[in-house]
Amino acid sequence: MSVAMSAAGDDPVRAALEAAIRAPSPHNSQPWRFEVDGSRIDVFCDGDRVLKVADPEGREARLACGAAILNARLAVRAAGRTPVVHLLPRRGRPDHLASVWVRAGRPATADELALARAIAYRRSNRRAFTARPVPEWVREALVRAAADEGAYLSVPPGEGAVAEFAALVREGERVQRDDPAFQAELARWTALDGAREDGLPPAAATLGPDWPFERRPLVAVLMTDTDSGLAQVRAGLALQRVLLRATTAGVSVSLLSQPVEIPRLREAVARLVPGPGRPQVALRFGYGFAAPATRRRPVASVARFAGQG
C-alpha cells in the first residue's frame, strides 16, 4: 500500500503531504516547504535548497515542487476528495508556487488509485537497462501523460538523433566532472554516513554516464511552450505524471540532468528534438532491476501548521 493510500482514510491533508515529499528532486535536495491552514496546503520553493551551481535560476527546483504538487493532488483524489489547485497564486511571491484546497468529492477512478499507489514505488534508476524495448503502447501512454498536464514528451527521431543525444549527455557529464564548483556542490549533497534524510547515496552520486547500455534506448525530452516560472511548475506536474505512468507499466526511468543543466547543451537539445518549445527534463526509459529508494525528510520537518506558533 502506498504512503498516500495508507493515510488517506484518516486525513486527506496529511496524505497529500506524505505523498508530496516523495517527489524527485535534483541531488535529492527536496526544495519544498508547506504551510497548512485547515484544508489548504500552500506549497513554497525553499530557496535555501536550490542548487546554486547546477540550478542557479531555480528551474529544476520549481520542477521538483511541481512534481510534489501532482503527488499531493493524486493523494487527495485517492482519498475520495477533490483537489482545487491554484498555481503561483500571489504575483509578489514567486516562491509561493501553489495553493491546494481539499474539497468534497467523488470516489477516485481506478486509474487515479493506480497512479496514487505508484507514488511509493517510483524510483529514479541510473543503472543499466535490459535490451527489452519499450512497447509502442507504453510510449503512447507516456506521451498522453505529459499532454494531460500541458507539456510535450518529444522523442529524438531516428538512431542518428539518439546518438547525438547520447553525445550531449556524455559532454554534459564531462563538463560537470571537470567543474570544481559543481563537484563541491555534489559532495555537499552526498550522504556519506547514511544518517541524512536528504542528499544522494554515494553510489548514485558517483555514477557516470550510462551510455551506451541499451542497443535501442528510448530517450525523450519533456518540453513546454515557454520557459516561465509557471511553465516550469507545470512541467514538474507533467514530469511526475509521466514517471508514475511509467511505474504503473513496470518501466524504469533515468532522469538525465546533464544536457538541460548546461545552457549551450540545452539549446542543442532543443534543436535535436522535433517541435517548438523549451526542454525541461531529459529522460531515458527501459526495463531494469529495482532501484533503492532515497531518503526523505519527514512531514514534520517540511510543513508548518497554522497555530504551531
> Is pLDDT above 50 for 295?
yes
How many Å apart are CA 7 and CA 25, to the nearest integer? Answer: 23
Domain 3-123 and domain 136-286, same fold? Reply is yes
pLDDT in tens, 103-121: 998 999 999 999 999 999 9
Q: Name which of 293, 287, 291 is nearest 131 in CA terms.
A: 287
> Is pLDDT above 60 for 9?
no
Q: What percent of the chain has pLDDT over 70?
A: 92
What mean pLDDT is predicted for residues 80-88?
Answer: 97
Sheet with 40-45: strands ordered across:
82-87, 96-103, 40-45, 32-37, 303-305
pLDDT in tens, 177-217: 999 999 999 999 998 877 789 998 876 655 454 555 566 77
> Counting beta carbons within 10 angstroms of the beta carbon of residue 184, is it exposed (0 to 12), middle (13 to 18) or buried (19 or more)?
exposed
Span 3-123: which CATH code?
A: 3.40.109.10
Domain 136-286: CATH architecture, name and number where available: 3-Layer(aba) Sandwich (3.40)
User: Where is 305: in which H helix or E strand?
Assistant: strand 303-305
Domain ranges of the chain: 3-123, 136-286
pLDDT in tens, 223-241: 999 999 999 999 999 999 9
Identity (one letter) of the amino acid at 212? Answer: P
Name 36's Cβ contacts closer than 8 Å, sequence gap at least 6.
Answer: 13, 17, 42, 303, 304, 305, 306
Predicted confidence at residue 288, as pLDDT, reads 86
> Is pLDDT above 80 for 123?
yes
Question: How confident is residue 6, by pLDDT bands cut at 50, 70 and 90?
Answer: very low
User: Where is 182: in which H helix or E strand?
Assistant: helix 180-188
* Phi, psi values for residue 63, rounded to 5°: -60, -45
What mean pLDDT is predicted for residues 266-294?
Answer: 90
> Counting beta carbons within 10 angstroms of the beta carbon of residue 133, is it exposed (0 to 12), middle (13 to 18) or buried (19 or more)?
middle
Specify the DSSP class assigned to residue 190.
B
Identity (one letter) of the amino acid at 92? Answer: G
